[in-house]
Structure 1
Amino acid sequence: MIKEAKKITDIGIGHLAQNCKALTKIDLHTTNITDEAIQEIGEHCHQLLSLCISSCPRLTDASLVSLGQGCINLRTLEVACCSHFTDNGFQALARITDATLNFLANYCPKISALTRLPNIKVHAYFAPVTPPPSVGNGRQRYCKCCVIL
């Protein structure tokens, strides 16, 4: 499946976004898309509720800005292994009300400002079935590297 994901292009996603505006879920995990594809999604897919862009190494903050401007109904954004995303990009998501942002902290090394985004809830990918007890300040630890903010 990952081999097939590499065949997905910005042009293909652009056509999909322009012709399937009612999409509510898109999974682009491990594709070679760029900010251009996400800009098309932000411009055309205003009903989008869930987007996975984990392991898309060519994406930058411009993608997050596009999502923050166009996909204001977004509820789940899965991001991991996206080394070009920074705090500035995530600030652009602040206008999305009640968004849930899923990310694995140590694979997004330039991100630290998530605590300043009150409408974004952070969840770890590898959470156990039963949450462990709270760890300091009422925050729960889900794995060694991730903390609910």
Structure 2
Amino acid sequence: MIKEATIERVLTRLESGADDFALEIQDFAQSQPELMSYLTNEEIEAFTDAERELLLFGAVVIYQSVTDERTEPDPVSGNAISIAEEANYELIGEGKGDFRQRVTPAFEQSPEEELLAFVEDMLVGEAEEEGITREAREPLFITLKTVVDVLTV
């Protein structure tokens, strides 16, 4: 399991602006081309610019947290992404209630609670501050959970 301290360290580094975020995205895209393609495909176009930026930021935090604690993950296949995404839509689609209640099954089924808590907190916090729509929260969570799943297998 990725530790909260690792996630916080990555967040601090990225939010400090010391690293050029465009270079971070480029490194991510070179290491994980299929995953980057998944995060920028036409379905993602339904998100607002702020939502797409948050999605990429979240994916980079997840990726860097994984690489900080473990070795560089092998490039993920499109098939693995599709399988994980489908399973996540089935899992979250079963939830009832508000956003936090709907994503609870994801926490119960994943060993990566800290990464999922980061995603959940980011989506709830940014929704109010950055104009992330309530309708986008669940698909953003599912997309980022898919990133977590395929990078931590």
TM-score, normalised with respect to structure 1: 0.26
Comparing both structures, which one devotes a greater share of its residues to helix?
2
Comparing both structures, which one devotes a greater share of its residues to strand?
1
TM-score, normalised with respect to structure 2: 0.26
Q: Which has the larger radius of gyration?
A: 1
Which one scores higher on RCO, CA 8 angstroms, separation ≥ 6?
A: 2
